[in-house]
Structure 1
Amino acid sequence: MDWHHQLLDSAIWLGKAFIISWLAVACLAALLGKFTDWGRQFLRVTWAWFSPARSLWPLAILSLLILMTLFSVRMEILFTFWNNGIYTAMQDFNAATFWSLLAVFCVLAAIHVTRALTNFYISQAFQIHWRVWLTETLMSRWLDKQAYYRSQHLPSRTDNPDQRIQQDVASFISTSLALFLGLISAVVSLFSFTLILWALSGTLTVFGVAIPRAMTFLVYVYVLIATVFAVKLGRPLIKLNFLNEKLNADFRYALIRLREYGENIAFFRGEAVEHRTLLKRFSSVIGNTWAIVFRSLKFQGFNLGVDQLAVVFPMVVQAPRFFSKQITLGDLMQTAQAFGQVQDSLSFFRTSYDEFASYRAVVNRLTGFLDTVDAADQLTMPQITHQGEDFAVESLNVNSPTGVTLTANLDLTLAPGAALLVRGPSGVGKTTLLRAIAGLWPYASGNIIYPAGQQSLFLPQKPYLPLGTLRSALYYPLAEPAQADDDAVRAILEQIQLGHLATQLDVENEWTNILSLGEQQRLAMGRVLLHRPQLVFLDEASSAMDEGLEHAMYSLLRKELPQVMLVSVGHRSSLAAFHSSELNLQGAGAWRLDSLS
């Protein structure tokens, strides 16, 4: 064999195969995107990443990966010819050809190793950049327009969104690339090695009927029958893998809740109940895992049997021609290798069915996540505008999820320095009213006018302390400035009677578990002093303090921020002294606004 011509032919082959591959990919993507659900799901999740309008780099790197895959197929073709030559040289006892072919092997092996390492690096880099983009995109969708909160009000919402962003994204990207490049390799190998097998095949007589090029036809019939049975055996794996992801996520979520509410559970001595709940969820995980194991035993057992039979099948068919000296030992070995490559290529879908089943489950979970975000974006909310200096509510109607009217046609206005106390019986909708005013409650309508600048803070009964340092908790929701004024921060800690924490400002810890609820509420008051907003909502934000501390904190707010507008929800009559008006919710939509000055 003239290896110089082989190298030239390889270059021409790569160019043609690359162009044909891209045309096939474009046509396949268009067809799948139009006629299949999972094709539309895939494009929905990732089309923006590959869109030339955003960047040409993803398509350029993908093109390089396709070229490297085709290069791998061509190397396999060259190795089959090398195998033919080396075995033929051994059969003919041709030492010179044998040693020259060993030199050729060294060159081919060096090229093959270099290609494999280069392909690995490019593939990993591509997956990392893709994962960064998709994770950031999903996180932005989850956080923008407060979908993470609004989705709670949907009749059916996504379970375990954290898992979908973290785990499913990584699985989606790695499996997408593996299946895509594997499909290209399989199709190109199929055509290439079919031509080789066609050239090596002879006539086979079966029951008196002569079948020309029998080996080529037999491999297609062999794999077609195997694929039909494999699909039937593997189909249930799609649902089982989807359930596996969901049940594991539910179990993990139950463990996380045990950690988050550890103190409450410990006070109630609720270990037995929690244990039963965890065991119930874990039992579901194990039951589904056993179902996957038994189904996989059938599926993989069948595939292994098919693969083992494929090792000897071509030799059995070609053996009569070899022993009658119609073909050489090299031809026989190349036939077996070509048969194996064609069989592997045709069996791509069969052998990848379990992986594809897991992949479909991941795609369904990601598109389900996007469905939830889209549905959350469509929820109706009161119209919020920012203008002037006053805070106003116009024709606000607030309902419960079941349609019960909580507040009807509410109108009120607060000027700078004014303070409103919201009161009423428990369950009448005081906190829900604040949620509606903040634009978080979907069962409300009307107009909310905030002061220009959007400078407002919401202080719930249980403050939120982010992960990180005490300083970051104090500055939340703003980022820490590059050069913080430590003296001002320490002064605020002294004012809210947390001066003993001044030395721990830059200590990272689980501050939610370290500080008492009363200390957390005072820290939230410190945020107000630090940010100096125009408007503050306090939803029983001092309930964990004694009356003396509550009086001190409200006095501090009125002294340090005389122009701030306050909207407070509280039950203590002592709060009236710090407010200029009172909104009394009376139930069934009724309300009364009274002056306290």
Structure 2
Amino acid sequence: MRGFWGLMRAYWFSERWKEAWALTIIIALLTAVASKASVWIAEASGELVNSIAFFHNPLNMSPLATLLTNAGMLVLLVMIKDVAFVGVRHLFSSTLHRKWRAWLNSRFNKALLDGNHTHFHVQHAARGKDGLIAEAPDNIDQRVQDSIKQMTGGAIGLAMGVLGVATSLYFVGQKLIETSTSVAGLEFLGDYGGAVLAFAAVALYVPANTLIAMKLGGILERLTIAIQQAEGSYRAELTTLLRRSFHVAAAGGENVQKEMHDRLYVGIDRTWGRLNWINAGYMSFETIYNFVAARIVAYGPGLLPYMHEQIDLKRYVTGAELVNSLISQCSWFIQVMPSIATLKANARRITDLAIAIENVQQPQEFYRLSGRSDFRYDAQHPVFGLTVKRLELMHQGEDAQPFLSAGNIRFRRGEWTLIKGESGSGKTSLIKAINGLWPYGQGDIVFPEGVRSYYAAQDVKLQQVSLKRLVCLPDGDEAHADARVAAMLHKAGLGDFIEYLAAEDREGKTWDQVLSGGQKQKLMLARILLHQPGILFLDEATGALDLDAKIAFHQAIKDNCPGITVISVMHELEPPKAANGASFYHSILLVEDGIALKTPIVANPPMEVAAALVQPFPVDGARLRLARIIRAKGKRPGLR
């Protein structure tokens, strides 16, 4: 689905091709029958007009009966066409629209929400071979929802229009040939001279103006894309405002937010203004085109035979109306060019997203286009725990220098390590890199084989599912018994919510709205206690809790998750201690001046973690200064 036509036909060649083709064939048949019904209606209209014209003719023995019969037949044909053909076709076309959109939506959801964390990687830019930065796709929500919906609906409508034009042209062209006559100077064409002139007039007039329409359509397409981007950015900012509404109110930031909205809307207004100018120009072009076609071009082909009295006025007017009908059918592309421009704009938004998704299927290869990305992830025997070797973290750019370096660091089974450092020193980046969520840098990360890990972040955003499902994530709620989930909620300090275990909301509010920041962090504790991971990353996961709650948080993990390895980022000067005064943490990983060094903080650690705390020589101020000197000279310190 990287190109327009690939996107258009993907559904029809997917695993649901039978459904797609069945609906398409039914719609095509109904469209063809509706076009044929138009001819029947035209003939019935002629009969009705004829019965009116000859109502007082002496030869008409039953004028009223004939008139009523022809009128009834016309009404019946119109009802059959509009109800049995057009109405039923609309039902099938709307069903095809719904099915096609659902299939595309599921494809993009599956691609974005895969185990590769594509939804995360696709929001990063990359430098291409031409040296230019490729912007990450903006407003992904708008692309997946609005663009897919508008594109699928527009494509089906245009396809039905094309089919309708083709079938109508067949019948109108057939009628032109039937009523054609010879033309002076074109006797060699016989009775087809009039039809040839008519077809020639259409062939000269329509394509030339179609080219003009295509040029204007290209401008409309670009402006449509621009206004979709502007509208999407404005909507995204409004959505963000609602999420941080309290913080804006508490900081009195309404004026700043208003300035942001005004600045974003300027882009919408400017693009909208240009779009209005082009739309107005296109409307004028189309109006003049239709007038010339109906009053000049349509009457041109029959003028020569009429001047030579080869046809009478009635046949001349009839032929002109047929030519005008033919021009009208052939001009369908001109009439719908704005819709085509919108269709192409939506398709481009979708294909750009599809390309971005495909580009990040190999994340490191993708990130190497815009920087250095040489992380290597491996597994080892669980007895050796988690090991980080020669790790360097960088930002985007080929010439970017490491902002954080770590030598050989080992986290043994059962060891609790506190990562300390000033704000902005790279503590969270280090945890992200270990978990494969930092794009740039290099080094080896070796996880214990078969050991489950869990990453608890400071900011908790809860999805709109049941409370039980929130605790069971990433497992399904059927994977754990209600009693066990309730027990974990109680241990985490959320026992008051056990009765709402199966509810997706409480009093009309989602759980993300109901729970406070501290309660959300306790919910994460319940999830940890339920899954009992072997390695736990706490990225300021207790920042919203008071001291007693932080102690209870740590104590619950210690009591219920034996042998767990904890790697935690906290801003406290001293790590929390248990009620008996013992420290929960066995070691500190200090991040300072771009260097990460690990040192023990307990005199008699448990035997299962003692080996992890052994250093070849004491980590004191002299060693730290030595590491800084080595770093300043551009060498990688071989630290353990």
- Given the two structures, how large is their TM-score scaled by the length of structure 2? 0.78
Distance in 2 (CA, whole Å) between partners of 1:560 and 1:219 is 83
Residue 242 of structure 1 corresponds to 225
Residue 122 of structure 2 corresponds to 151
Q: Say whether 1:123 aligns with 2:65.
A: no
Relative to structure 1, the CA distance from residue 174 to residue 427 in structure 2 (aligned partners, 3 Å threshold; closer, same or farther) is same
Distance in 1 (CA, whole Å) between partners of 2:68 and 2:241 is 69
- Specify every segment of 5 or more residues in structure 1 that has no aligned partner in the other structure, as ranges: 1-38
| 1:405/1:589 contact within 8 Å kept | no
Q: Say whether 1:345 aligns with 2:329.
A: yes
Q: Say whether 1:133 aligns with 2:133.
A: no
Residue 42 of structure 1 corresponds to 4
Q: More displaced, 319-328 or 84-93? A: 319-328
Q: Say whether 1:389 aligns with 2:389.
A: no
Question: Structure 2 counterpart of 1:347, which letter?
Answer: S
Describe the superposition over 1:152-177 as per-residue Cα deviations: whole angstroms up to 9, x where unpaired: 33242010001101110001101111
Residue 457 of structure 1 corresponds to 454
Match of 2:21 among 50, 59, 78: 59
Match of 1:371 among 355, 374, 394: 355
Distance in 2 (CA, whole Å) between partners of 1:161 and 1:515 is 28
Distance in 1 (CA, whole Å) between partners of 2:95 and 2:362 is 37
| 2:121/2:360 contact within 8 Å kept | yes
Residue 178 of structure 1 corresponds to 157
| 2:194/2:301 contact within 8 Å kept | no
Distance in 2 (CA, whole Å) between partners of 1:228 and 1:43 is 21
- Specify every segment of 5 or more residues in structure 2 that has no aligned partner in the other structure, as ranges: 127-134, 365-372, 578-582, 606-640
Q: Partner of 1:578: helix, strand, or coil?
A: coil
Q: Say whether 1:108 aligns with 2:85.
A: no
Residue 227 of structure 1 corresponds to 210
| 1:423/1:569 contact within 8 Å kept | yes
Residue 552 of structure 1 corresponds to 552
| 2:45/2:74 contact within 8 Å kept | no
Q: Say whether 1:542 aligns with 2:538.
A: no
Relative to structure 1, the CA distance from residue 542 to residue 173 in structure 2 (aligned partners, 3 Å threshold; closer, same or farther) is same
Distance in 2 (CA, whole Å) between partners of 1:318 and 1:43 is 41
Q: Partner of 2:99: helix, strand, or coil?
A: helix
Question: Structure 2 counterpart of 1:57, which letter?
Answer: E
Distance in 2 (CA, whole Å) between partners of 1:387 and 1:49 is 44
| 1:419/1:581 contact within 8 Å kept | yes
Question: Structure 2 counterpart of 1:171, which letter?
Answer: Q
Distance in 2 (CA, whole Å) between partners of 1:122 and 1:368 is 30
Residue 427 of structure 1 corresponds to 424
Question: Structure 1 counterpart of 2:549, which letter?
Answer: L
Match of 1:492 among 488, 491, 495: 488
| 1:419/1:578 contact within 8 Å kept | yes
| 1:85/1:101 contact within 8 Å kept | yes
Distance in 1 (CA, whole Å) between partners of 2:530 and 2:14 is 46
| 2:389/2:409 contact within 8 Å kept | no
| 1:45/1:367 contact within 8 Å kept | yes
Residue 273 of structure 1 corresponds to 256
Question: Structure 1 counterpart of 2:476, which letter?
Answer: A
Q: Say whether 1:166 aligns with 2:166.
A: no
Residue 19 of structure 1 corresponds to none
Match of 1:404 among 370, 385, 401: 401
Residue 301 of structure 1 corresponds to 284
| 1:83/1:333 contact within 8 Å kept | no
What does 1:514-529 correspond to in 2, within 5 Å?
514-529=514-529
Q: Partner of 2:334: helix, strand, or coil?
A: helix
Residue 575 of structure 2 corresponds to 574
CA-atom RMSD, angstroms? Answer: 3.3
Report the CA distance between 1:593 and its aligned residue. 4.8
Distance in 2 (CA, whole Å) between partners of 1:455 and 1:149 is 21
Report the CA distance between 1:102 and its aligned residue. 4.6
Q: Partner of 1:481: helix, strand, or coil?
A: helix
Q: Report which of the two structures shows the higher radius of gyration computed on alpha carbons.
A: 2
Q: Say whether 1:285 aligns with 2:286.
A: no
Greater share of residues in helix: 1
Distance in 1 (CA, whole Å) between partners of 2:124 and 2:278 is 38
Match of 2:38 among 76, 83, 87: 76
| 2:112/2:357 contact within 8 Å kept | yes
Describe the superposition over 1:13-67 as per-residue Cα deviations: whole angstroms up to 9, x where unpaired: xxxxxxxxxxxxxxxxxxxxxxxxxx96123435432116663331232233222
| 1:386/1:451 contact within 8 Å kept | yes
| 1:466/1:472 contact within 8 Å kept | no
Distance in 2 (CA, whole Å) between partners of 1:140 and 1:88 is 62
- How many percent identity over aligned positions? 22
Report the CA distance between 1:421 and its aligned residue. 2.2
Report the CA distance between 1:366 and its aligned residue. 0.7
Q: Partner of 1:152: helix, strand, or coil?
A: coil
Report the CA distance between 1:103 and its aligned residue. 5.8
Q: Partner of 2:382: helix, strand, or coil?
A: coil
Relative to structure 1, the CA distance from residue 315 to residue 47 in structure 2 (aligned partners, 3 Å threshold; closer, same or farther) is closer
Report the CA distance between 1:75 and its aligned residue. 2.4
Q: Partner of 1:405: helix, strand, or coil?
A: coil
Distance in 2 (CA, whole Å) between partners of 1:241 and 1:457 is 44
What does 1:197-216 correspond to in 2, within 5 Å?
197-202=176-181, 212-213=194-195, 214-216=197-199
Match of 1:418 among 412, 415, 418: 415
Distance in 2 (CA, whole Å) between partners of 1:465 and 1:42 is 37
Report the CA distance between 1:132 and its aligned residue. 0.7
Relative to structure 1, the CA distance from residue 80 to residue 288 in structure 2 (aligned partners, 3 Å threshold; closer, same or farther) is same
Question: Structure 1 counterpart of 2:78, which letter?
Answer: A
Q: Partner of 1:538: helix, strand, or coil?
A: strand
Q: Partner of 1:574: helix, strand, or coil?
A: coil
Question: Structure 2 counterpart of 1:172, which letter?
Answer: M
Question: Structure 2 counterpart of 1:365, which letter?
Answer: R
Distance in 2 (CA, whole Å) between partners of 1:327 and 1:64 is 44
Question: Structure 1 counterpart of 2:281, which letter?
Answer: K
Distance in 1 (CA, whole Å) between partners of 2:351 and 2:447 is 36
Q: Partner of 2:201: helix, strand, or coil?
A: helix
Count of matched residue pairs = 554
Describe the superposition over 1:248-292 as per-residue Cα deviations: whole angstroms up to 9, x where unpaired: 111111111111111111122111111111112122212222222
Question: Structure 2 counterpart of 1:283, which letter?
Answer: V
